[in-house]
A and B are shown apart, each in its own frame.
Chain A
Amino acid sequence: GIQVEQSPPDLILQEGANSTLRCNFSDSVNNLQWFHQNPWGQLINLFYIPSGTKQNGRLSATTVATERYSLLYISSSQTTDSGVYFCAVGTNAGKSTFGDGTTLTVKP
């Protein structure tokens, strides 16, 4: 099956700093999503981005499908950005393989 590697596993920032999270995947995929898991366990959609670049406020994402990686950028981080960020990829609709996540801690 597809292997998904996320880096770094842990990231600690001061409020206001910028960060880049990376997701590498081992095979061609048809779908790729980035999620933020809040402390209560809810997975919040950030981006659906199998290729190209998207931006939403302070967050943006880029996927280079030919090189099998995706990047999530967080600018001017806030304490509410803390949590675990997951990359999920797949070739079949409805079936995703998740990475192990990046745990982000933003300190005030």
Chain B
Amino acid sequence: KAGVTQTPRYLIKTRGQQVTLSCSPISGHRSVSWYQQTPGQGLQFLFEYFSETQRNKGNFPGRFSGRQFSNSRSEMNVSTLELGDSALYLCASSFPYQETQYFGPGTRLLVL
């Protein structure tokens, strides 16, 4: 089975721009979660989608949003980028009613 894939792998943006990141879960997985990793804050939960519905949400401003499509692929969007949004963005997927999360390779975002 193919693992979790994320695109793009690297991204450079400037302040004020917006960005969309994509995550394709493992086949059959319906839950997709997003995390932000920075040196200062560590790994922090952004949100989780299950069957196209946001099921859990972390403590991030409204500039961070996401969605999930009927094929379980998920996108997250960050609008009006700030320097502090520079981070590794990781997504994870899990099978229904199983708790084990499998992570993708991440997208490294640099905001200049």
Secondary structure call for the A interface = strand
Interface size on A, residues (CB 8 A): 24
Closest chain-A Cβ to B94's Cβ sits at a distance in Å of: 6
Q: Mark A28-51, 1 if CB is under 8 A from B, else 0.
A: 001101010000111101001010
* 8 A Cβ contacts from B24-63 to A: 31-33, 35, 37, 42-45, 48, 50, 55-56, 58
**B57 nearest in chain A by CB position:** A95
Main SS class of interface, B: strand
Interface size on B, residues (CB 8 A): 28
- A30 and B88 contact, CB distance less than 8 A: no
* A92: interface (CB < 8 Å): yes
Residues of B bordering A, CB below 8 Å = 31-33, 35, 37, 42-45, 48, 50, 55-56, 58, 88, 90, 92, 94, 97, 99-106, 108
